[in-house]
Chain A
């Protein structure tokens, strides 16, 4: 089944403790992206990757890191999480990095930073 998977689905952590949220897709997509969703703000893009080893900042990149060493994986790293990063995070992928291609979304990761 074609899908985008994220792990973990739920995570509660403390301020300053490094964490990684994994994202993997099995559709051989070139483009991958991370969003955060907050009430009343919709989805905001954190980082995106047009292909392996090519990443770029989205609208809200502060406090996040990403890497794209393999085509299928696009982990999101929070090196020193803070409470304002408590949010619902979505990974998405599409065949190519142009808007004409549908983005497929993962199920989301709900992160709480205390």
Chain B
């Protein structure tokens, strides 16, 4: 069965520091891959997506993600975190339906 693993439940990063959120997927072939962000009390917003081609994809709000087939990973990165980035981040994969990871809560310290 398809699965998505986000190994970190919580991550705390200092404002201005770099960020990497991990995501591993389990699937027979390369699925479509997504990162969503959920701010407190809000719905989910798409940050970026990968279908094929260039393995480094750029998203909104300065985020990027790199697809590594050999590691079945799709890690999310940002070079400099802002306090407004504090939110919960979800990795998802699939074709006709999406399977979500359990999420990583990002805390940003001053």
Are B43 and A99 in contact, CB atoms less than 8 angstroms apart?
Answer: no
Q: Give the chain A neighbours of B51 by CB distance below 8 A.
A: 100
Are A103 and B46 in contact, CB atoms less than 8 angstroms apart?
Answer: yes
Q: Give the chain B neighbours of A81 by CB distance below 8 A.
A: none
Does residue A48 face the partner (Cβ distance < 8 Å to B)? yes
The CA of A4 and the CA of B44, in the complex, are separated in Å by: 11
Are B96 and A98 in contact, CB atoms less than 8 angstroms apart?
Answer: yes
Indicate which residue in A41, A99, A102, A103 contacts B102 across the interface (CB closer than 8 Å): A41
The CA of A106 and the CA of B41, in the complex, are separated in Å by: 11
Nearest-CB residue, chain B, relative to A42: B102
| A89-114 near B? 1/0 per residue, CB < 8 Å | 01010000111101101111000000
Nearest-CB residue, chain B, relative to A9: B41
Are B46 and A107 in contact, CB atoms less than 8 angstroms apart?
Answer: no
Are B43 and A108 in contact, CB atoms less than 8 angstroms apart?
Answer: yes
Q: Tell me the count of chain B residues lying within 8 A, CB to CB, of chain A.
A: 25
| A47-67 near B? 1/0 per residue, CB < 8 Å | 010100000001000000000
Does residue A43 face the partner (Cβ distance < 8 Å to B)? yes
Indicate which residue in A44, A48, A90, A99 contacts B44 across the interface (CB closer than 8 Å): A90
Minimal beta-carbon separation of A91 from chain B (angstroms): 9
The CA of A101 and the CA of B13, in the complex, are separated in Å by: 32
The CA of A50 and the CA of B97, in the complex, are separated in Å by: 10
Nearest-CB residue, chain B, relative to A59: B99
Are B31 and A99 in contact, CB atoms less than 8 angstroms apart?
Answer: yes
Minimal beta-carbon separation of A48 from chain B (angstroms): 6
Are B100 and A44 in contact, CB atoms less than 8 angstroms apart?
Answer: yes
Indicate which residue in B42, B94, B100 contacts A99 across the interface (CB closer than 8 Å): B94
23 contacts between A and B (CB under 8 A): A33-B97, A40-B9, A40-B102, A41-B102, A42-B100, A42-B103, A43-B44, A45-B98, A50-B96, A90-B43, A90-B44, A92-B44, A98-B95, A98-B96, A99-B94, A99-B95, A99-B96, A99-B98, A102-B34, A102-B46, A102-B49, A105-B45, A107-B43
Binding site for B on A (CB under 8 A): 4, 33, 35, 40-45, 48, 50, 58, 90, 92, 97-100, 102-103, 105-108
